[in-house]
Amino acid sequence: MTSRRSDPRHTGRRAAPGVVEAVAPGSDARDVDRGEAPDADASDAEASEAPDAPDVEQRQWRVDAPAHGQRIDRVLATLAGEFSRNHLQSVIAQGHVQLDGAVVQAASRRVRAGQLLQVALWPTAQALAFRPEPIALAVVFEDEHLLVLDKPAGLVVHPAAGNWSGTLLNGLLAHHAAAAMLPRAGIVHRLDKDTSGLMVVAKTLPAMTALVRAIAAREVQRIYQALVHGVPAWSGLAIDAPIGRDPRLRTRMAVVPGGKPARTDVVCLARGAVAAGLRCTLHSGRTHQIRVHLAARGHPLVGDALYGGEPAFGLQRQALHAVQLGFAHPIGGQRVTFHSSLPADLASAWRAALKD
């Protein structure tokens, strides 16, 4: 898509110097290892009425082929990534979105390639959170196209209710100014706040487009190590179970009929008296996928209170670390693979839990 922005001063983002191309990622790219509870960025507090000018900012994009047929609220949530989807649905409901000059009546409206998408936006807490902050980033690899980071536990990836500052996104905006031109500052997948390990972040729109498509096509290898309660009788298994929102508690996900397809391959690496160390390979990227799948099998992560895993072995956070990340370089095409050792807290818990 092409984009023109009239006044970025209310969002904390730089104005585009000209035409910017973008692509609306598919659902998988927005549903990978999120750093907050499901829909935490869809706060009702964001659904406010539009203020008077000059607080309203006018933006427009030309719909391109990858976005053809998508819901307009999903397309906007990608292009205007500093605004929650809930807020953007409110913008649509109030008549502030047009396609080819006609007011859009419903958030479920599907867009077509070539249409002109115009929207009036106003500041929200989430939008104002898109500001650079000097946050130390553990850079594993960097070139002009992408960053590979080793995220520490406790760092939220994306601003959301309760975490409007101090996030990885804020650090990316400070690390390289061009991140302000990208949807979600180039973030193509997320890790939960208390999950540590490897992440890839795009630095250019072509790289972001390629990485999003690779994730959607299951071409990105993501391997985790997990410490779980209980000792499995099996040495390995494939958990192929759909994941959706837990009907009893909205902040959790669960294995539910009609959920989104999800598969995790699991291998038992080591057994202790009351715990086990596992290797988990993702074949999809649903919210909290590994945590949900293992809990559903009776082996919740150590320290994962949300899914029934008690703190143990000196560990207070969930025992999950992204140890390996592999993908085809989005521009050069060569296969690249990165590895990360267990951080000190997890390594210590691993030794304590699995000693003879």
**Angle formed at CA 88 by CA 83 and CA 92, multiple of 5 degrees:** 155
Q: Specify the pLDDT at position 299.
A: 97
Instruction: Report the alpha-carbon distance of residue 127 to residue 120 in Å, rounded.
Output: 14
- The pLDDT value given to residue 23: 36
Distance CA 337, CA 321 (A): 16
Q: Which residues contact 248 (CB under 8 A, 6 or more apart)?
A: none
What is each CA distance from 61 to 108, 169, 188, in whole angstroms?
18, 23, 20
β 57-62/97-99 pair status: unpaired
pTM passes above 0.75:
no
Which pLDDT belongs to residue 17?
26
Q: Is 192 a catalytic residue?
A: yes
Check residue 354 and give its pLDDT: 93
- DSSP codes of every residue in 256-267: -TT-B--EEEEE
Burial code (b: 16+ CB inside 10 Å, e: under 16) for 170-195 equals bbbbebbebbbbbbbbbbbbbbbbbb
User: DSSP labels for 5-55?
Assistant: ES-GGGTT-PPPSS-EE-----GGGGSSS-SSSTTTT--GGG-PPPPPTTS
Q: 287: part of which helix (H) or strand (E)?
A: none
Q: State the residue for tokens 């539009």.
A: 50
pLDDT tens for the chain, residues 1 to 356: 544 443 333 333 333 322 233 333 333 333 434 333 333 333 333 444 544 444 678 888 999 888 899 999 999 988 887 777 888 898 999 899 999 999 999 999 999 999 999 998 876 666 667 789 999 999 999 999 999 999 999 999 987 767 778 899 999 999 998 898 888 899 999 999 999 999 999 999 999 999 999 999 999 999 999 999 999 999 999 999 999 999 999 889 999 999 999 999 999 999 999 999 999 999 998 999 999 999 999 999 999 999 999 999 999 899 999 999 999 999 999 999 999 999 999 999 999 999 85
Give Cα separations from 137 to 32, 150, 160, 223 (angstroms). Answer: 20, 8, 20, 21
Asked if 267 and 226 touch (Cβ cutoff 8 Å), the reply is no
Catalytic-role residue among 28, 33, 73, 192 = 192
Question: Residues for the chain: how many in total?
Answer: 356
Q: CB count, 10 Å around CB of 270?
A: 14
Nearest to 194 by CA among 289, 58, 316: 316
β-strand 57-62 against 116-121: which pairing, if any? antiparallel
- Note the pLDDT of residue 118: 93
